[in-house]
C-alpha cells in the first residue's frame, strides 16, 4: 500500500514537472568587460512598440539579479526611471542602441550616468501568452454541499529576450533569451486540483541565470 | 376608529417601503461604483535650470482639485469616481520648478504684477478620457489627458498656446482592475510631464527672448 502511494506520487510529480520545457539562448556580438562596482539597469521595451512585458516579470528579474550576485550594482528599474525622468518614459526612452547617441549628447544625462557608474542597460522584450485552451469544468452548490467536475487545460508560452547595450560605445554587445512552454491542467472530481505550469517564473529564473552567465 | 387606524398603518407601511426601495436603489447605484484616489508622485525633471526668469503660474480650478465621475456607458460597466486631488498641480509644479528657479503660483483673482518682466503660464485641463478592457474589447486600461497651456509676457507681445497631451496604458494581467487603472493614470501623468519637458526645451529660447 505504502509502495503504491509512493509510486503514484512519483508518477504525479513526473507528470507535473514534465509539463514545461525551457529553451535558453546566448549571443555575444562584441568583447566587453564589467568592472566590479559598475552599475547595470534593466528596462523593458515601451508599449508604444507593442511590447507587453509584465510588471511582475520585471520585478522578478530585478529581485533575482540583486539576490544572485554581488559583482555589479543593480539599479532598480523604477528608481532609474525616476532619477532620469522624463528621458526613460515609454514615449521618450531609446528603443534601440542606435538611438543612444542622441541621448548621450545631453550633458545632464551623461553626467548622471557617470555619477551612478552605469555601464550597461539590459533591454527586455517579450511576454507570456496563452496559446490554446480546452476542456470543461463546471461547479455547482446546493443546500447539501457543492463540488466541481471536469477537466480543463491550457498551454502557456513565456518568451523573453534581453539585449545588452553598452552606454560608452552605444552598441549592442550581446543578447540572451529564455523561452518556456508549459501546460497547465485542472482536473476536478468534487475538488478542483490546479496543476499550473509556472512558465513566467521559470522564464524569469532562466533569463536571470543567462544574464549572470553573460557577465561572468 | 379602526378604519382610521388601518389607514395610518397603510400609510406608514407605504412610507417605509418607499424608503427601503430608495435605500436599495442607492446601494445598487453607489455600492457598485468604483472609487479611486490618485496620488502620483512625479520626480523632478533632469533638465538644465534657466536662471533669472520670473514665472507666474495660473492654475485652473480643474488642475487644483479635479474629480471625475463617469456615467454608466454600458450596462455591465460600473460607474467610476476618480479623485485626482492636486495630482495635476503637483505634476506642473515639479516640471516648472525644474526649469525655473523663480516660479510663483498666482493666487486666484489676484492682479498680475506690473513692475517686472515675467512670463505668465495659464494651465487648464481640457480632457481626461479612458477606456476599460470591456469597452475596448482588449485586456488593458488606456488613459488620455489633454491640457491647454497659454504663455504670455507682461506686454502680451508674446503669446503661445500649447496643447500638451499624455497617454498611459496598463495591461490588467495579474493586477486588479483598480490598480491597473491607477497605473495607467500614473503613466499618463508622467507622459504629460515628459511631453511638457520636451516642449519647454524646444521653446526655451523664444521664452527667454520674450522677456529680455
Residue ranges of B 150-209 with Cβ closer than 8 A to chain A: 167-169, 171, 173-175, 183, 187, 190-191, 193-195, 197-198
Query: Is pLDDT at B25 greater than 80 in this prediction?
Result: no
* Yes or no, beta carbons of B190 and A112 under 8 Å apart: no
Which residues from chain B sit within 8 angstroms of residue A47, using beta carbons? 169
Give the model confidence (pLDDT) of B62-114 as tens digits.
Answer: 999 899 988 766 666 778 899 998 999 999 999 999 999 877 777 656 665 65
Query: Is pLDDT at B29 greater than 50 in this prediction?
Result: no
- Nearest to residue A182, comparing CAs of A15, A63, A10, A9? A15
Give the model confidence (pLDDT) of B179-211 as tens digits.
Answer: 999 999 999 999 999 999 999 999 999 888 887
pLDDT bin (cut points 50, 70, 90) of residue B154 is: confident
Query: Is pLDDT at B42 greater than 80 in this prediction?
Result: yes
Pairing of strands A145-166, B34-37: unpaired
Which residues from chain A sit within 8 angstroms of residue B195, using beta carbons? 91
> pTM, whole model, 2 decimals?
0.82
- Residue from B47, B185, B190, B201 to probe the interface with A (highest A Cβ count within 10 Å): B190
The fold for domain B34-211 equals: Double Stranded RNA Binding Domain (3.30.160)
Count contacts between A and B (CB, < 8 Å).
49
CA distance to partner chain B, nearest, from residue A9 (Å): 31
Which residues from chain A sit within 8 angstroms of residue B168, using beta carbons? 90
Interface ipTM > 0.90? no
Pick from A83-97, A185-199, B190-204: least confident: A185-199
What is the mean pLDDT of the segment spanning A154-172? 92
| Closest by Cβ to A90, choosing from B43, B45, B187 | B187
As a whole number of angstroms, the distance between CA A208 and CA A214 comes to 10
Q: What is the mean pLDDT of chain A?
A: 87
Give the pLDDT of residue B24: 47
Query: Is pLDDT at A25 greater than 90 in this prediction?
Result: no
For chain B, give the percent of residues with pLDDT over 70: 76
Give the pLDDT of residue A2: 60
As a whole number of angstroms, the distance between CA A118 and CA A165 comes to 11
Residue A47 or residue B25, greater confidence? A47
The DSSP code for A96 is S
Q: Which residues contact B156 (CB under 8 A, 6 or more apart)?
A: none
For residue A62, the number of C-alpha atoms closer than 13 Å in the C-beta half-sphere is 16
Q: Where are the domains of chain B?
A: 1-31, 34-211
Amino acid at each position: 500500500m505504502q509502495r503504491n502511494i509512493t509510486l503514484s506520487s512519483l508518477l504525479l510529480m513526473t507528470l507535473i514537472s514534465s509539463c514545461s520545457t525551457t529553451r535558453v539562448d546566448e549571443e555575444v556580438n562584441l568583447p566587453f568587460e564589467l568592472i566590479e562596482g559598475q552599475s547595470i539597469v534593466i528596462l523593458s521595451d515601451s508599449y508604444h512598440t507593442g511590447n507587453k512585458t509584465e510588471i511582475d516579470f520585471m520585478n522578478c528579474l530585478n529581485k533575482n539579479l540583486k539576490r544572485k550576485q554581488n559583482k555589479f550594482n543593480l539599479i532598480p528599474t523604477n528608481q532609474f526611471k525616476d532619477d532620469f525622468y522624463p528621458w526613460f518614459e515609454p514615449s521618450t526612452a531609446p528603443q534601440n542602441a542606435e538611438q543612444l547617441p542622441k541621448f548621450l549628447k545631453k550633458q545632464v544625462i551623461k553626467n548622471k550616468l557617470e555619477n551612478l557608474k552605469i555601464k550597461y542597460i539590459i533591454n527586455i522584450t517579450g511576454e507570456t501568452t496563452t496559446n490554446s485552451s480546452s476542456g470543461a469544468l463546471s461547479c455547482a452548490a446546493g443546500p447539501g454541499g457543492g463540488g466541481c467536475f471536469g477537466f480543463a487545460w491550457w498551454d502557456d508560452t513565456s518568451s523573453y529576450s534581453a539585449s545588452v547595450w553598452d552606454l560608452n560605445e552605444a552598441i549592442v554587445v550581446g543578447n540572451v533569451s529564455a523561452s518556456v512552454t508549459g501546460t497547465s491542467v485542472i482536473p476536478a472530481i468534487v475538488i478542483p486540483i490546479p496543476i499550473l505550469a509556472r512558465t513566467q517564473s521559470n522564464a524569469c529564473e532562466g533569463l536571470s541565470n543567462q544574464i549572470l552567465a553573460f557577465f561572468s | 376608529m379602526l378604519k382610521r387606524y388601518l389607514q395610518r398603518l397603510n400609510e406608514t407601511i407605504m412610507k417605509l417601503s418607499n424608503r427601503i426601495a430608495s435605500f436599495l436603489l442607492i446601494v445598487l447605484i453607489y455600492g457598485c461604483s468604483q472609487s479611486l484616489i490618485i496620488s502620483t508622485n512625479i520626480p523632478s525633471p533632469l533638465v538644465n535650470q534657466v536662471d533669472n526668469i520670473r514665472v507666474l503660474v495660473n492654475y485652473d480650478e480643474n488642475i487644483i482639485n479635479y474629480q471625475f465621475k463617469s456615467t454608466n456607458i454600458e450596462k455591465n460597466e460600473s460607474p467610476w469616481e476618480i479623485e485626482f486631488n492636486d495630482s495635476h498641480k503637483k505634476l506642473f509644479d515639479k516640471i516648472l520648478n525644474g526649469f525655473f528657479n523663480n516660479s510663483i503660483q498666482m493666487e486666484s483673482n489676484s492682479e498680475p504684477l506690473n513692475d517686472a518682466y515675467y512670463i505668465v503660464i495659464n494651465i487648464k485641463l481640457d480632457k481626461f478620457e479612458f477606456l476599460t478592457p470591456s469597452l475596448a474589447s482588449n485586456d488593458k486600461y488606456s488613459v488620455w489627458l489633454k491640457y491647454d497651456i497659454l504663455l504670455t509676457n507682461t506686454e502680451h507681445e508674446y503669446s503661445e498656446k500649447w496643447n500638451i497631451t499624455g497617454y498611459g496604458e496598463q495591461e490588467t494581467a495579474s493586477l486588479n482592475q483598480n490598480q491597473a487603472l491607477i497605473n495607467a493614470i500614473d503613466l499618463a501623468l508622467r507622459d504629460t510631464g515628459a511631453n511638457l519637458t520636451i516642449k519647454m526645451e524646444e521653446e526655451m529660447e523664444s521664452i527667454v527672448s520674450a522677456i529680455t
